[in-house]
Amino acid sequence: MDKTFVQLDVRNWDNTELVESLYEICETSKEYENDVVEVHQVVDLGKLKNEWRYLIILNISQDLDNLGAQIDHY
């Protein structure tokens, strides 16, 4: 299992759904279609200027016998 870190900056909570943002982060963190990405922790880093800053810690596991197709995010 690998860990990765993603920074999330939120300027306007009226236009932001945290659950949807976390789902998008998990989906775009996949390298292969069968990867399992789970949010391990959300760390509130505080407010900087007009943005709330969070560190999202993800656990990524892969089935090495059945990776699935590689995902091209571009």
How confident is the model at residue 37, as a pLDDT?
97
Report domain extents, the chain: 2-61
| 8, 51, 58 from 54: Cα distances, Å | 5, 10, 13
How confident is the model at residue 24, as a pLDDT?
95
How confident is the model at residue 1, as a pLDDT?
80
How confident is the model at residue 10, as a pLDDT?
94
Which of 36, 37, 33, 34 has the alpha carbon at shortest distance from 5? 37
How confident is the model at residue 73, as a pLDDT?
77
Interior angle at CA 32, CA 9 and CA 58, nearest 5: 35
pLDDT along the chain (74 residues), means of 10: 92 90 95 96 94 96 93 83
Which of 10, 20, 2 has the alpha carbon at shortest distance from 44? 10
pTM reported for the whole predicted model: 0.85
